[in-house]
Amino acid sequence: FKEYDNNQRTSQLPLIGGEGTENAGSQVGILNIEINYTPESDAQVQQQQQEIEDEGVKEEQIQDQQPQAVEEEPVQEEEQQQPIEEIAKIDDDCPKGIVEVTVFGVKNVAAMDSNGKSDPYIKVTVGGITQKTQKKKDTLNAEFNETFKFDFDPSTTQERDIKLELWDYDSFSDDDQIGKASFPLSEFKGKKEKRNVEFFGVNKNYGQNTGTGDFEISYIPEGETIQ
């Protein structure tokens, strides 16, 4: 290769017939070729060596970082444990038990129909389960005297409130919600309490008092009695 060192040359090489052929030993053609031989400089060799060394350093850094990722896992576990403790506290406030809600009646119901009356009924929801009273026709003051019983189990629901809703029945369209109210279930734990409830207006009656209901509510955890 020294003949072509740092040079680009074009050469003509004779082609000689191979042994065992009729043209053996005779020139059968001329081959035109161009040859360029450029040795690597010292700078290029050093650059390649530096790249190899850099790759080795990167691999060592990656290996050094791997144990740190393992050490961070316990911190994440501690963060996940906190919500579980909070849920346990909530369940202590609202243990498994029997909830009873008696709906005596409602008065001063907002008029929802064109005749200036409503057809009111009340929905009671505990632990995601809803029960409702009978409807009363054409009145703004209704008596129900109905009692609803709920088997409350905190392991089956995230709901921890007693929800009361006042509705207007419609024969030929969807019923209209008139108002709503809610209370933490824990307020009634271990006792029976009568309560007058003001319904907070929704939809077109938003922000208004749309009726006042009379209720009796009890919540008796398993193994306990009413105080």
Q: Write out pLDDT tens, residues 118-147.
A: 999 999 999 999 999 999 999 999 999 999
Question: What is the rounded average pLDDT for all residues in the chain?
Answer: 82
Question: Residues 146, 102: contact at Cβ < 8 Å?
Answer: yes
Q: Which of 115, 206, 200 is nearest to 165 (CA)?
A: 200
Give 29's pLDDT tier (boundaries 50, 70, 90).
confident
User: Which amino acid is located at 143 in the chain?
Assistant: E
Token digits for 17?
């017939």
Predicted local distance difference test score (pLDDT) of residue 88:
46
- How deeply is 126 buried, as exposed, middle or buried, from its count of CB atoms within 10 A (0-12, 13-18, 19+)? buried
Domain at 97-221, CATH homologous superfamily? C2 domain (2.60.40.150)
Q: Where in the chain is the domain with CATH 2.60.40.150?
A: 97-221
